[in-house]
Structure 1
Amino acid sequence: MLTRRALAAPLLALPVASPARAQAESFDAFLAGVRAEARRGGVSPATLQRAFAGLRPNDRVLELDRRQAEFTQTWPQYRDARLSPTRIENGRRAMQEHRATLAAIQSRFRVEPGVVVAIWGIETSYGGFTGNFNVIEALATLAWEGRRAAFFRAELLAALRILEAGNVSVDRMRGSHAGAMGHPQFMPTSFERLAVDFDGDGRRDIWDSRADALASIANYLARSGWRDPDPWGFEVRLPGNMALEGLDHRNTRPMADWARLGVRHFDGGALPALGGDWAVVVPGLSRGDAQSFLVGQNFMAIRRYNPSNFYATAVGLLSDRVG
C-alpha cells in the first residue's frame, strides 16, 4: 500500500516552470516564427540579428495598449490644448524657417504648406517629441500579446523591411508605444507606401530629415485626395430651425444646398461658390458644444491621417493660424 509520503515524492520531483520562463519561451517561439516569415520576405539574417538582439516583451507597451480610458475632453478643451499660443507661434516660426522646402513640397504635391505644418505640430510638436520606444520591441510586444496581434505582426514585418532597405538604424528607429515613427508618426506600412526621399540622399528618413518628413506628410494627404486650392473648411452659423442630429462628415451635399437651408458663413456673409460636396460637422455635438463647420474634401483627407472629427478640425484650424 502506498503511503502519503510515497505519493508525494514523485510529485515533488516534477519540474515546475516559472511564469517568467514560460513567457520567455512563448516570446522566443513567436520571434522564431516572425524571423522565418521575414526571411521569406527578403529580410537578411544580419538585419534580423540586429533587430532581435536581446529583444524581450515590454510591459509598459502592454500597459499603455490596455489602457482603454474613455475620451472625456469636450471639444473646447481638445481644441484649446492643440491651438495653444505656443503651438501657433512655433508653427509660424516653422513656416518661416522651412519656407523654401515647403514651397518645393507644395509645387510637387499640390498640398497647402499650412496643413502640413499643422499636422507636424499636432503629431510631434514640430519634432519636439517623436517617441522614445524601440519600434521593433514595441511592435513585437503587441504582435505577441496585444489586442490586435495580426495588425501589429504586419507592422512588425514592415518595420523589418524598412531596416533591410537601410532607411534607418535599429537604434534610431524610435517612436510611440504603438510603433508610430518619426516626425509624422507614420506606422511602418504607411511609411512603406507614403514616405518620401525629398532631400535626395537615397534614404526615406522621417526621423532626422525635415524635408523627408514634411514631404511625406504632403504625400500622405495628396494620396488621400487633397484638392488644391480648396479650403479644408470654415466655421459657419446654422439656422435656428436646423436639426443637429445626423450632421456629420458623411452627410454631404453641394454648397448651394446648404445655402438654401440657411447655413451662413460665421461672419454672417453668404457661403462661397465652391464646387464639390460639403458636410456640416459639429465636433462637440455629443457633449453640448455647438461650434459648427462646413467641411469639404480636404477635411476628409485629413481624417484619413487620423479618423477623428476633433483631430481633423483642430488640424484645419491650426493650419489657418500658422499659414
Structure 2
Amino acid sequence: MQKTFLRQALVALSLLGVAVPLSIPSAQAQTYSAALQSKTNAAFQQWLQNDLWSQAQQRGISRSVFDQSLSGVQLNWKLPDLVPPGTKPQTPKQQTQSEFGSPGNYFRKGTVDSVVSNGKAKLNAHKSLLAKIERDFGVPAGIVVAVWGRESAFGTVKIPYNGFEVLATKAFMATRKDMFRAELLAALEIVQKGYMDSAHLKSSWAGALGQPQFMPTSYLKHAVDYDGDGRRDIWNSVPDTLASIAAYLQHFGWQKGRDWGFEVNVPQNVSCSLEGPDQGKTFKDWTALGITRVNGKAFPAQEMAQESFLLMPAGRHGPAFIVTPNFYVLKNYNMSDLYALFIGHVSDRMSYGAGGFQQGWGDVGGLYRSDVAAMQKRLQKQGYDVGKPDGLAGFKTRRSIGIWQAKNGQPATCFPDKALVKAIR
C-alpha cells in the first residue's frame, strides 16, 4: 500500500493503546504567502471543474456524485509535501538530518506489551467472527488482529480528515500528484458504486481510509461487505474491517496453513549476506547449514521441503529469522521488514503465548540518514546493489555491507555503524 513514512510514525504512537489523532506534524508544514495561496486556490477550482471532471466523467462518475463529493472542498495548506504551481519542492533539513536508529526502537517493550494485551482481548471478543474469516480467507485470526492494532489501534485512532479534501489537495500539488489523482478518482468511484457515501469518506492526512488504512485504489480491490448491510464500511464496521484486512492478505498470496517465520540461531560460519527474498532455500537446506530455532524445537515437518528466506533486520546486531513467503505478503501491506516482523511477532504472542525475542537488539544507530545514504552511494559506485540510496538499511544494503566487509578482511555484521561509514570510501 502507498503510505508515507510520517504517517507510519504517527500510527506507531497509537500502538500504546491510546487514541492518537493522525494529525499533521507541524515540522512538515510549509508557509506560503497569502498571494500565492489565493492564486493557487483559484487555479485549483478551475482544475476541479475542467481537468478532473473530464477524467471523472470518463471513469463513469456522474455529475451529481462529483458535485456532492467535491462541493466546498478547498486546498488544505497544512498538508506536507506540497508543491504549488510555479514553485519547487522544499526539502526540510530534518529529512536529511533525521536519525538512523536501531531497529530495536520499533519493538519497545511497553508498545509491544500493550498491543499484545489489547489484541488478546480483541481475539476473545471477536472469536467466532475471526474463525469465520479464517475459514473464508485462510488468514489466521492473530495476523488479522495484529494488522488491525498496528494500523488504527483496533479502531480507536481518530481518522479526522475529509478524504476528498486531502486527496484533491495532493492530486493538485503534491510531490506525487499523479498517484494521488488516481486515488482521488478511485475515491469518487467508491461513492459512485454506493460502497460508502462521500460524507463518511474520512482519511488520515496521507489519504488512507478507515481502520485498515487502505488507499482508495486498495479499497476498491480489497474492501469487503462482511456484515451484509450493503456497504463496505471499514470506518465503523468491525466485520467489514477485519474481513477486508484478510481479503487484502489473501489477494497478495497468503499461503493457508503456513507460518510467517521463526526466530533462529545463525552460526558465525553462515554469512549474513545470504539474507533476502531472492536467496531462498528450503528449511532442510537451512538446517543443513546449522541454523536452528532459538526455542530448541525442530522446524515443522511440513515446512522442511518448502522455500524460506533468511531475515536479519539488524545484521549480526539483533535477532535472526527464517521466514516463509507469508512474511513478504505482510510486507505488501507496508513495505518495511520491521512492519512485517512486528505483525508476525505480535500475532505469535497473542495467539500462542510466545515470549519476546530471545536475541536482543544491539546498541546500533546514532547515525544520520544522510550518512547512511552517502555510504550507500559509495557502495553503488563500487558495483554493489544497495537498492535505493535513501538512508535506510534494507536487505540489499545490509547484505552488500556484509559482502564488502568480507572482501576487506572484516567480520561481516551486515549493518551500518560509524566506523563502517568512514571506512567505505
Normalised by the size of structure 2, how large is the TM-score?
Answer: 0.68
Counterpart amino acid of residue 306 in structure 1: N
Structure 1 counterpart of 2:209: 181
Structure 1 counterpart of 2:58: 40
Structure 2 counterpart of 1:77: 105
1:198 aligns with 2:198: no
Shift of the 251–218 alpha-carbon distance from structure 1 to 2, 3 Å rule, reads same
> Which among 45, 68, 76 is matched to residue 58 of structure 1?
76
Question: Deviation digits for residues 232-280 of structure 1, max 9, x if unmatched?
Answer: 0010000122221241233211111101111100123443330421011
1:276 aligns with 2:306: yes
Counterpart amino acid of residue 39 in structure 2: A
Return the alpha-carbon distance in structure 2 between the equivalents of residues 82 and 188 of structure 1: 33
SS of 2:80's partner is helix
> Which among 37, 42, 56 is matched to residue 20 of structure 1?
37
Note the aligned Cα RMSD (angstroms). Answer: 2.0
Greater alpha carbon shift after TM alignment, 88-97 vs 128-137 = 128-137
CA contact (8 A) 2:151 2:213 kept: yes
Cα displacement (A) at 1:100: 1.1
Structure 2 counterpart of 1:5: none
Cα displacement (A) at 1:81: 6.4
Cα displacement (A) at 1:25: 2.2
Cα displacement (A) at 1:284: 2.1
Count of residue pairs the alignment pairs up: 305
Structure 2 counterpart of 1:140: 168
CA contact (8 A) 1:130 1:182 kept: no
Return the alpha-carbon distance in structure 1 between the equivalents of residues 203 and 195 of structure 2: 15
Structure 1 counterpart of 2:382: none
Shift of the 52–311 alpha-carbon distance from structure 1 to 2, 3 Å rule, reads same
CA contact (8 A) 1:111 1:222 kept: yes
Question: Deviation digits for residues 177-216 of structure 1, max 9, x if unmatched?
Answer: 1211111101100010111111111111111111011001
CA contact (8 A) 1:179 1:187 kept: yes
Counterpart amino acid of residue 139 in structure 2: V
> Which among 297, 308, 311 is matched to residue 325 of structure 2?
297
SS of 1:236's partner is strand
CA contact (8 A) 1:75 1:289 kept: no
Counterpart amino acid of residue 100 in structure 1: S
Return the alpha-carbon distance in structure 2 between the equivalents of residues 222 and 294 of structure 1: 21
Return the alpha-carbon distance in structure 2 between the equivalents of residues 244 and 101 of structure 1: 41
Return the alpha-carbon distance in structure 2 between the equivalents of residues 43 and 113 of structure 1: 37
Counterpart amino acid of residue 63 in structure 2: P
SS of 1:87's partner is helix
Return the alpha-carbon distance in structure 2 between the equivalents of residues 223 and 134 of structure 1: 28
Cα displacement (A) at 1:131: 2.2
Greater alpha carbon shift after TM alignment, 300-309 vs 246-255 = 246-255
Q: Which runs of 5+ in 1 are unaligned?
A: 1-16
Q: Percent identity?
A: 36
Normalised by the size of structure 1, how large is the TM-score?
Answer: 0.89
Cα displacement (A) at 1:38: 0.8
Cα displacement (A) at 1:73: 3.8
Cα displacement (A) at 1:83: 4.7
Q: Which runs of 5+ in 2 are unaligned?
A: 1-33, 84-90, 352-425
- Please identify the structure whose Cα radius of gyration is greater: 1
Return the alpha-carbon distance in structure 2 between the equivalents of residues 138 and 82 of structure 1: 33
> Which among 100, 105, 124 is matched to residue 152 of structure 2?
124
Return the alpha-carbon distance in structure 2 between the equivalents of residues 243 and 31 of structure 1: 55
Return the alpha-carbon distance in structure 1 between the equivalents of residues 159 and 278 of structure 2: 33
Shift of the 135–83 alpha-carbon distance from structure 1 to 2, 3 Å rule, reads same
1:29 aligns with 2:29: no
